[in-house]
Amino acid sequence: MVVGPDASISDQVPVGEPPAEAEGSQKAIEGRSLGQIAWRRLKRDKAAMAGGIVIILLILIAIFAPLIVHAWGYDPNSFHQETMDPATQAPTSTFPFGAFDSKHLMGVEPPFGRDIFSRVLYGARISLLIAFLATLLSVVIGATLGVIAGYLGGWADWLISRAMDLFLAFPILVFAIALAGVIPDKAFGLSGDTLRIVLLIFIIGFFNWGYMARIVRGQTLSLREREFVDASRSLGARSGYILRKELLPNLVAPILIYATLLIPTNILFEAGLSFLGVGIRPPTATWGGMLSEAVRYYTMPHFMFWPGLAIFVTVLAFNLFGDGLRDALDPKTR
């Protein structure tokens, strides 16, 4: 088609025939949400993905521990005296590090011959349960008080900030040892392991909310000066609506990041209390309790190795995943 230099665009392009560059743009460009962008960043972090996979495996192991033990182990509290030498209280196996065989995958513990594999799996249930619920309690208290202090300011901010200082300075380990030692076997309608678990969740969760509250308060102080909060105020929104609809959704990322980093701390704290003898009481299997009993048998490294390895792998996995999640949700922290 020949046209002159003064011809218009409509003359140069026949009606009903799309321009050449428009043919390749028929497919609409699909945008990405903030969640999709964060997921793409997280997938590129191999260490964080490895930590996430380990966390998922640990959770599945804790949930299905009875089925796994039924298939490849024994009851965690049953004795196997035939595997022990009554004179030396050592495993009768000639293997250097304990009675490893198809029946006892991680060996047996002295002096009763209880299966270490089963006890490590059941110990995961106690450690993860206490760590998750204690973290949830800290997040609920800390996030609520932190956002109130940061948004309202004034006397509310002063009062909550002084409470943060008090709880951050509180000797939680000494208090936990004292409180766990004086609580009777039956209290508040609970008894046995249930009472000890609830007590540990309360001690660890209630006295650790100060860290979460400080982080949320600092983020709230920054967010309350943003334009979308001022727009909500100008439209007549009340404080409750702004807190729920404007501030809390923007605080999910820092809360989630700190929660993933708080879980391994709580796992170590629970293991430490059990190691000191004020956590879950024997014969219930816990990683800290197994380490405490293994101290007397330092010549048998397999007894101490497996619960120590379980704590190390769990804490490392949560830390790697938490660091990767922080970089994915807030790239400015890199």
Backbone angles phi, psi at 218, to 5 degrees: -65, -40
- Name every residue whose Cβ is closer than 8 Å to that of residue 199 and which is 6 or more positions away in sequence: 179, 180, 183
- The answer to whether 242 and 233 have CB atoms below 8 angstroms apart is yes
- Name every residue whose Cβ is closer than 8 Å to that of residue 261 and which is 6 or more positions away in sequence: 318, 319, 322, 323, 326
Q: What amino acid is encoded at 26 in this protein?
A: Q
pTM of the entire predicted model: 0.79
pLDDT tens, residue by residue, 250-309: 888 888 888 888 999 999 988 888 888 788 887 888 888 888 888 777 667 777 888 889
The DSSP secondary-structure symbol of 103 reads S
- The answer to whether 280 and 200 have CB atoms below 8 angstroms apart is yes
Q: Reply yes or no on whether the pLDDT at 154 is more than 70.
A: yes
The ranges assigned to domains in the chain are: 126-333
Structural class in CATH, domain 126-333? mainly alpha
Tokens of 190: 């609970």
pLDDT tens, residue by residue, 63-85: 998 888 887 767 777 766 555 55
The DSSP secondary-structure symbol of 234 reads H
Tokens of 313: 């792998």
Q: Distance between terminal CA atoms of the chain?
A: 58
Tokens of 122: 């059941």
pLDDT of residue 312: 93
How far apart CA 201 and CA 190 sit, in angstroms, is 14
